[in-house]
Amino acid sequence: MDLIDQAAASDLRPLLRGPSRRILPVLVLPLVLVGSCAAGAWVWANLEDLVETPESRDVASTMSLSLEDRASLFEIKWAQQKTDDEIAELNRRIDAQRDALKEILDQITILTSRIDSLQSSTPVPSASEPPLSPPRAVSTRKRFGRSKPRGPVSVGGAPVIAEPKTAEP
C-alpha cells in the first residue's frame, strides 16, 4: 500500500507544480520588457527638457525680445544684484551690532553681579549706633557761584530798569 500512496503522491506533484512555475516567467518577463521600453521612449522624447538648464531657457527667451526689452531686463537684473549686495552688507552690519550688544549685555551682567556682591558684603549698621544723617543736597546754583538777580526781571531774563516814580497830581 505504501507503494501505491507514493506513486499517487508523486504523480500529483509534477502536475500541480509544473504549470505555475512556467507561467510566472512567461508573464513577468514581457511586462518588465514592455515597461522598460515605454520608460526609455518617454525619456528619449523628453530628453531635451530634462537636460535644458535654466540659463539656456533665459537665453532662449531673451533672444525673442526687442533690444529695448533686453536693455530693460539687463537693468532690472543689475538692480536686483545691487540690492542683493546691499542686503548682504546690511546683514553683516546687523550681525556686528548684535555682537557688540551681546558684549555690552555681558558687561552689564558682570557689573550687576559685582554691585550685588558689594551690597551684600556691606555691613548693616546695628541698632545701638545712631544712623548717620544723610548729606544735605547742594544746590547747583551754590556750586557754580551764580547769584540770583535782584529787582524786577523781564520775561527774557534781562534786568529791567525801573522808571523813576512821578508824583501823582
pLDDT tens across 15-65, in order? 555 555 566 667 788 888 889 989 888 888 887 777 766 666 666 666 678
Res 6: pLDDT? 65
Burial 35-74 (b: 16+ CB within 10 A, else e): eeeeeeeeeeeeeeeeeeeeeeeeeeeeeeeeeeeeeeee
**Which H or E element spans position 85?**
helix 67-121
Distance CA 26, CA 20 (A): 10
Q: pTM for this one? A: 0.34
Cα distance between residue 29 and residue 36, in whole Å:
11
| pLDDT tens for each residue of 79-121 | 999 999 999 999 999 999 999 999 999 999 999 999 999 998 8
Q: Say how far apart CA 63 and CA 143 lie, in whole Å.
A: 82
In the predicted structure, residue 166 carries a pLDDT above the cut 80: no
Is the Cβ–Cβ distance between 73 and 62 less than 8 Å?
A: yes
**C-alpha–C-alpha distance, residues 33 and 41, integer Å:** 12
Give the pLDDT score at 89: 96
Phi, psi of 127 (to 5 degrees): -75, -25
Identify the pLDDT of residue 130.
55
pLDDT at 1: 57
Could you read off the pLDDT of 113-165 as tens digits, one per residue?
A: 999 999 988 665 555 555 555 555 555 445 555 566 566 666 666 666 766 66
66 falls in which pLDDT band (50, 70, 90)?
A: confident
State the Cα–Cα distance between residues 89 and 95, nearest whole angstrom.
10
Does residue 70 or residue 78 have the better pLDDT? 78
What one-character DSSP code corresponds to residue 155? T
